[in-house]
Structure formats: structure tokens, C-alpha cells
Amino acid sequence: MLSLLAPAGLLLGLTLPVVILLYLLKVRRVDQRVSSLFLWQSMPRDLAAQEPLQRLRLSVLLVLQLALLALATLALARPAVVAVGPPPVHLVLLLDASASMQAIDPGESASRFERARAAAEAAVQAAPEGSSFSVLEARAHPQVLLAREPSAARALEAIRAARVSGAAADMPGALLLARSLAGTGTSRRILAFTDQAYSLPPSERDLLGTDLEVVPVAGDAANSAITVLGARPRLADPDGQDLYVRLEHFADEPRTVEVELRVADQLWEVRAVELAPDKPAELVFEGVPTAAGAASVAIRKPAVTAAHDSLSLDDVGYFALQARRPTQVLLVSNGEPRLERALTLVRRAEVFRVTPRRYLAADVDRFDVVVFDRDVPPLLPRGNILILGPSGTAPFLPQGPDQILRQPQTLTWEQDDPLLAFVDLRGLSLRRARVLEAPAWARVPMRAEGAPIMLAGVDAVGRRVVVLGFTPLESNIASLSAFPILVNNIMDWLAPPALVSHHQLRTGEATDLTPLARARDLVVSGGGDQAARSIIPVPRDAAPITFGATDRPGVYVVEQRAQDGSLLPEATERFAVNLADPAESDLRPRGDSVVTTATQEVAEVPLEREFWWWVLGLALPLLALEGWWFHRR
Amino acid sequence: MPTAAQPSDLIPAELAARLDRLSLVTRQRLLGDGHGERRSRRRGSSLEFADYRAYSPGDDPSRVDWNVYGRFRQLQVKVFEAEELMGVSLCLDASASMRWGEPDKFFRACQIAAALGYLALAGGNRVRVTALRRRGAERSRDFWGRRQAAELLRCVGGLTPDEVALERDDEAGSLERLAREAQRGAAARRAQLTILISDLLSATWQEAIRALEGATSELVVLHVLDREEINPSLGGDLNLVDQETGAREEVTLNAEVISWYQARVQSWLAEVADFCARRGVRYVRHVTSSPLEQWLFRDLRVRGVLR
């Protein structure tokens, strides 16, 4: 049955007589003088007329324009065919892309995620005509793949493009996103395709409401998993580490498995472990050499069969064995034994000395910290710096002649400043000290007679700078017990942080990468996919970079490249990423998170299927034909 | 409102110098009523020396007998047996349709008339100028001899075309009627060569040519047109207004109509040429956008009007 949804649109049809009237009216012509009409007089007379109205002549243009107007009128009235069927809905499809969805249940050939995608595709194909679709992925950071798309084909494309992750999903966040995307209309449906291998706190169960339909894709799956990994340096052996591993067995029957340790890809040790249901087993591997760089533990393959283990992702655990690199310190001095001795006492520091005359010949950018004893070059190095007793035209001094404090009587210092922690300066006696000029970025931990004699801060190019207005020779500081503590504090603060802030991560977690100031970019590779490489440009101020592309378990290698593209070999670090999530490894469905799907009887309703776009589609070629005809005259 | 042209505007000095090397051509022996530089049937068929006469200003210096001058210190001109004086009538269409184009068709017609009149006077012929106007034919006095060339040029330069008609006036300025008037005058003065300079944009152009043809021994039609009249660049919905009669014609100038008009013009031009050819009338067309000098020295010589 045909109906018009906007009959008022037919009013446009009133313009049809206007078109005809325009053809009856003669055109307004411009006077144009010619030498004579003699040659024009025998012209065909169809364009000449003496009356304001002319006889209506049927022309192709008139017919085309009337047809166009008629079609536009019909389209404006929104013609529709009335049919009976289910009402269109807004279908929100939430695909659980957590690590547990990689599991292959017994008796199934496809993973849970593949089955979830197939179910979602079936839901799209079964949706009533006129429905719209939204597609979301529930992963560590939920993603919207498609929002309110009326095309079922686009929805199917989005579902096929969805990928399962190696991390736990933020299911509450995904559900909240799904609900906000669904809106408040009555025609919405939220379908969650999940294995329900997650637990929701009671406070978050309200998020689900009653309009969520869970389509379960789980089976009766057993799984043995490595759920906790840890590495710590051995106190007795600084070059070795102890590795801690916890195994859990999520099944009803006990089993025995073999666990192997590989160090630098070489088999190191194999142990048999009895696994009881819901009773963790713990293993410690001692004395693994840090120099190996990486190690892994795995539940041995022969013991893992489809019948007993549905998820292989958590059968392997990785370790990054990272020894902290010693801080490279360059002392630029003509000889100051007490300062040099204090520096050598600093933990994890390698001290090198060069005289000021040979400073320019040294590769200063290789050093993490450069200590200037009085002589300061005009061009400061890229690394962090400590300056003692600057003089002449050195930076951080006021303009003009040096302002020298001789035997100042009052000395104040900030006890809360980290550089002066546990530093007792009450016995400090200064023979002379230079007054410093504090830039905007610097703090003043120490003053003499109210004038700054110590500065510390991070300058405009991201370099850490500490300046002392006096040297050990100009004071008795070297004889105080506070001196090595002060030097240690300063070097601790100046020593660059480790490249990788966390060396053991769970999938989906982020770590901070703090590059060297001389690095141009970072190259992160690994994660089980040797071909995958992320190249991250280093910011100008070498600020820490948060790296979160840790979706795959494995050992990741972070390399730093210099400005000329060469690798900085001493600046390479590793970190390990593991699933290590008992909630994901426990593949058994949990009743507390199941929301019963309410099967609703949907009454068929009359549906009006508009076809005005077909009408307009017919008008377009007519319009083109009309234009062509007009211009060919 | 066009002003009268100066003689130097009509014929620049360089053009006049080149014109001295040309002369008008007639196809048949003519009857004259005085002495000139053309041979007459009455005096026989050979060009033979007959006598001397005293030199008068305007005579061709090449005809001066310098031997006689050396002997008697008198300028004597040789007179040949068959020389006759020819009457040349220059009929200039001064209707409003000639006040059109770029350059103005009437100005170009005046230039042509001046050049041919100068040539005729230089050849020792008698020249009369007749302007064909709406109110009737306007005749000048006769000019004779080279010394009256300046007066002839002043006369031609002083002519102006009719004003633009504001009312419909089809027949008042009929070319045929004017031609008949001109023909009466020409017959009375026994003109042997009549040169009509016109755009022929009149329904009675054929009658006009016929009328002039009957009144003269030889007729030359110089057809002056503007390029825009042959290939109009107009377009759109227009009300065409006749410059001469004030009549109006509503047209929509699209590509189809322009093509029709161009075909119509070509057909008409061919018709005019054919009409003239059938009557032994020499016909030469001139488009005002083309250079005058080139047309005079090439086209008119090719068509046998000048040599």
C-alpha cells in the first residue's frame, strides 16, 4: 500500500502552472542597434512575437522541466510503501576481545572470539530492516569500531575487522560505553558476545541493567596457567637473579605438568609440578645470570593438549633480566682529590677525569654527568652537569665582576630539598663563595648572607643542573661527614633514570621510557612478533614517553638511536610482558556475571518503507538531460 | 554625431603619392564632351601625336615637351589624337545604415570616394559626387583637373551620413528611389563611369543597380560592409533595432540562429555578385576591418577597376 508521509510536500506541485506560465510569457529582450534589419527579416519566425503572451508550444525542455518538478514534488511528499514486519532497532554489538577469548573450547575448532564474531554477524543479518548498528571491542581500552551505522554491510565489515587482544578487558568500561552509545530509545538492543571470564564488582553490576543481552560463547574449558612472575637480584651474587613463578590449574581434575626454564633461548632447567585444582604451585629458579638479558618459563607442550588446556597464551612467562647500567661521570678538573674520591664512592658510578685543556677533545656526550671544577666551557654538554666554584664568564654568575662573599657568617639551607637530605651543614665554614644568579627554572637550596650559593633545577633543554658557588678547597666541606652524602645525593639526582621504568608488565599495561638527551628516537621491538617495531621520536626535552602497545606477551627490546641513526649500544634495555592474570586464565564461566537474556516476543508492526531517494535518483538523469538539451540549443 | 573628415584624414600624403601611379580602367571606349586623357572612337584607333597646347596647372608634367621648352622657353603639352574627357560619377550611400561599424562604414566609403575621385581628376577627368540620402540625392558641382583635387577632397570630407531614424520609415530612403534620382542627374551630365559605394542593405538594391546601370556607360559597385554584419558576435535575447528605419525584430541569438544568419549573408553576397556579373557591372566587396591601401592597390587592380 502506498502512502505519503509528508503530504504537505505536494504543495510544491502548485509551481507546475508557474513553469507553464513562464513558457507563455515572452522573454525580456535587450535593444541592440544593427545597421539594417534587411538580412534578418527572412529569419524563421518562431522567436519573434508581438504580444506579452505567446502560444504555448510543446518543447522537450518544457516536458523535461515539468517531469523534474513532478518528481521533486513526489519526493518531497516522502512516498512510502506500507508493509508489516518487526520494528527496526539500534543494535549495539559488544565483542569481548579479552585474552581469554583466544581459548579454543573442547569440541570446537574455532576460538571463542571467532565464534563471537560469527554470532555477531548472524545478529546483524537477522536484524529487522531499517535497523542501525554500533560495534564495540571490549579490551584494555574499549574501542568503538562503528557508531549508529544504518548499513548492515558496514556493520559486517566492522565485525570482521575486530581483533582479539592479549590482555584483560575493561569490561565495566566497555559496558558503560555500550550503554551510552545505545542511547535511551526503546528500540535499542545491546548484545554482548563474551565468554564471561570476568568478574564484575557488585557496584558495577548495575551498569548492565536489564536491557543487556549476553550471548555466551564459552564452553567447559580447563586451563593451566602461569599467573605470577617475578625477578629480583641476588644479594650474594650481583650478576645473578632469582626468578619466581606461580602456576595455577583452573580445572576440576589435578594434573602433573613439566615446566621448563629457558635462558637466552637455551634450555636451562625442567621441573615436574603437581597441579591441584585451585591450588597454586610456586617455583623459584635461582642464580639466573643477568647478562643473559631474557628468560622464559613454559608449561611444556607435550603436557598441553586441547583436552586439558584451552588457552596457550598463559602457558609461557617471560622475564627481562636487566642490570642497571653504571652512571658515567666525567670530572673536568686540574686535580681535586677529595672531590674525586667522593665521586668514586658514589654507588654505580664510573668516574673519568680530564683536564679543562683536553675537555674539547673528549666525547662528552657519552657521559651521563659532567662535573666542572671551576672551569666551565662556553658550550655546555648535553648531559646533566655539576658545577663547582664557577668563575669569570661562566653561566649562572651575575653580569659584571664576580661577587665574592668572604668568610660569610650566616649560612641557610633547605633541609627538605632532596639534594640536602641527611646533609648536616652546621659545621660548614666557607673561606670564600661566589654569589650565583638563579634562572627562573632553578631553585636555591643554599644561601650565604642571603645570597644564592647553590642552584639546582632542570633547564630549558631538559638538562639537570646543580651549581655550587664554592669548591672543596675554598671551604672545609671535604672534611665534613656531610660531604660524601651531599655528593651522593647530587649524583643520585643527576644520574639519568633507567630507560624503562617497569621491567615486568602485564599485557595492556604501560611503562615509561626515559630516553637519553642525545637520543634521536627509540625503537621498541619484540613482543612475540619480531617484525613488529615501533619507532618513537624523542621529544626535545627528552621527557619520559609512555609506551602502552603491550598487547602481546613477550620480551620487548628498547633501543636508542643517536642523531646520526646509529644505535647507542650501552643504552639498550628490555622489559617483559605477560598475561599473568588469573581472572583471564580461569576460563570457566562465572555465574555472578551472567545476565539472563530475556527473550522478547516482538510484535510485528506496520512499517513504512520510504522510497523518495529512488524518485530523486530518477530525477537526476532527467536533470542532466535537461541541462544538456538547454545548452545544445 | 560624426564630424566632417579633414582631407588629410581621407587620403594621407603617402597614399596620394602612391595613387599617382594608378589610373581608372574602363572596359569600353567612351563618348566624351571635352579633352581628356582617354582615347575616343571618334578620333580613330591609333594613339598618334596631333598637336601642342599651352600647359595649364593640373596637367601631367610628363607630357610637357621639354625640347620645345628649351627652344622657346614656353611650356607646351603634347595633345594626342584620341584623348577624350571622361565623366565620373561617384554615388555615395549616405543612408543611416552606413553610420555603423568599426571603423565607420561611411568614413571608409568617403575614403574610397576620395581616392577614386583623386585618381579621376589626376587623369584629367570630370568628377561629380552624389550623396544618396533619405531626403533625396545630393549632388556636388563638377570637379575637373588635378588642381581641383583639394576641393573634391573637401567636398567628400564634408559629407555626413543621415541621422539615425527613430520612427519606422521603410520607404522614405529607398535606395532604388535615390539611385533613380542620381541616375537622372548622371544622365543629364552624360557620366560615362558611375561608381556606387554602398552597403546595399536595402530590399531594393537590385532596382538601384539596374537604375544606375541604365544611366551610365559603365557601372562599378563597391560593396562596403562591416565584419560584424558578416559574422555577428551578438548573443542572447535581443530586440534588434534597424539603424535606418527604426524597425524592430525580436530574436534569440543562439548558435542555430547565428548559423542561419551567416548562411543568409553568404547567400546574399553571392546573389549580389552574380547579379552584377550578369549585367557586366564590376563588383568589388570591401570589409572595413581590412586595410584600405591593400584593398585599393590589390583588390581593385585584380578586379580591373584600377591599373
Which member of B226, B236, B265 has the closest CB to residue A39?
A: B265
CA angle at residue A157 from A155 to A162, to 5 degrees? 95
Q: Residues B252-265: what's their mean pLDDT?
A: 87
Which member of B100, B247, B252 has the closest CB to residue A47?
A: B252
Q: Give B164→chain A minimum CA distance, Å.
A: 10
Residue type (1 letter), A190: I
A30 with B239: Cβ contact below 8 A: yes
Interface test with B, best of A25, A36, A45 (most B CBs within 10 A): A36
How many residue contacts between A and B have a Cβ separation below 8 Å? 89
Tens digit of each residue's pLDDT (9 = 90 or more) over B78-130: 766 445 567 888 999 998 889 888 888 999 999 999 999 998 888 878 898 99
Tens digit of each residue's pLDDT (9 = 90 or more) over A135-154: 999 988 899 999 988 899 99
**Residue B149 has what pLDDT?**
87
In angstroms, what CA-CA distances link A68 with A23, A62, A63, A615? 16, 10, 9, 10
B229 with A29: Cβ contact below 8 A: no
Q: Does B233 touch chain A (CB under 8 A)?
A: no
Cα–Cα distance, B307 to B26 (Å, whole number)? 10
Percent of chain A at pLDDT > 90 equals 30
B242 with A37: Cβ contact below 8 A: yes
Cα–Cα distance, A558 to A546 (Å, whole number)? 13
DSSP A314-372: GGEEEEE--PPPPEEEEEE-S--HHHHHHHHTSTTEEEEEE-GGGGGGS-GGG-SEEEE
Q: Residues B38-50: what's their mean pLDDT?
A: 44
Residues in chain B with CB shorter than 8 Å from the CB of A39 are: 201, 229, 261, 264-265, 268
Tens digit of each residue's pLDDT (9 = 90 or more) over A346-393: 877 889 999 998 888 888 888 889 999 988 888 888 889 999 998 877
| Range name among A291-300, A574-583, B135-144 with the lowest pLDDT average | B135-144
Cα–Cα distance, B253 to B234 (Å, whole number)? 7
Residues in chain B with CB shorter than 8 Å from the CB of A49 are: 250
Q: Give A51→chain B minimum CA distance, Å.
A: 11
Cα–Cα distance, A246 to A226 (Å, whole number)? 6
Q: Residues B150-163: what's their mean pLDDT?
A: 89
**Residue A113 has what pLDDT?**
93
A35 with B264: Cβ contact below 8 A: no
Q: Residues A195-222: what's their mean pLDDT?
A: 72
Give residue A119's pLDDT band: very low, low, confident or very high (50, 70, 90).
very high
Residues in chain B with CB shorter than 8 Å from the CB of A33 are: 100, 164, 240-241, 243
Which member of A26, A30, A37 has the closest CB to residue B249?
A: A37
Give residue B187's pLDDT band: very low, low, confident or very high (50, 70, 90).
low
pTM to 2 decimals? 0.49
B242 with A30: Cβ contact below 8 A: no
- Residue at grid coordinates 614517553: A545
**Residue B33 has what pLDDT?**
45
In B, minimum Cα distance to A44 occurs at: B257
B97 with A35: Cβ contact below 8 A: yes
In A, minimum Cα distance to B168 occurs at: A37
**Residue A23 has what pLDDT?**
83
Residues in chain A with CB shorter than 8 Å from the CB of B248 are: 37
Which member of B241, B260, B265 has the closest CB to residue A31?
A: B241
Q: Does A8 touch chain B (CB under 8 A)?
A: no
Give residue B46's pLDDT band: very low, low, confident or very high (50, 70, 90).
very low
Q: Residues A44-52: what's their mean pLDDT?
A: 53
E strand or H helix that includes residue A125: helix A112-125
Residues in chain B with CB shorter than 8 Å from the CB of A35 are: 97-98, 100-101, 105, 199, 201, 226, 229, 243-244
Q: Give B5→chain A minimum CA distance, Å.
A: 21
Tens digit of each residue's pLDDT (9 = 90 or more) over A443-472: 999 999 999 999 999 888 878 899 999 999
Query: Is the predicted pLDDT of residue B42 greater than 80, yes or no?
Result: no
**Residue B12 has what pLDDT?**
80
Q: Give A48→chain B minimum CA distance, Å.
A: 5
Q: Are the CB atoms for A546 and A538 separated by under 8 Å?
A: no
A35 with B101: Cβ contact below 8 A: yes
**Residue A215 has what pLDDT?**
84
Higher-confidence residue: B230 or A516? B230
Q: Residues A334-351: what's their mean pLDDT?
A: 87
Residue type (1 letter), B144: W
In B, minimum Cα distance to A48 occurs at: B250
Higher-confidence residue: A61 or A598? A61
CA dihedral B34, B40, B44, B48 (to 10 degrees): 70
Tens digit of each residue's pLDDT (9 = 90 or more) over A504-518: 899 988 898 888 777
Residues in chain B with CB shorter than 8 Å from the CB of A27 are: 237, 252
Percent of chain A at pLDDT > 70 equals 89
Q: Residues A272-298: what's their mean pLDDT?
A: 89
Higher-confidence residue: A568 or A259? A259
CB-neighbour burial class of residue A326 (10 A; exposed 0-12, middle 13-18, buried 19+)? middle
Q: Residues A25-34: what's their mean pLDDT?
A: 80
Cell of A204: 558495577
Residues in chain A with CB shorter than 8 Å from the CB of B265 are: 39
Which member of B243, B250, B254 has the closest CB to residue A33?
A: B243
Residues in chain B with CB shorter than 8 Å from the CB of A633 are: 254-256
Percent of chain B at pLDDT > 70 equals 76
E strand or H helix that includes residue A262: strand A255-263
B201 with A44: Cβ contact below 8 A: no
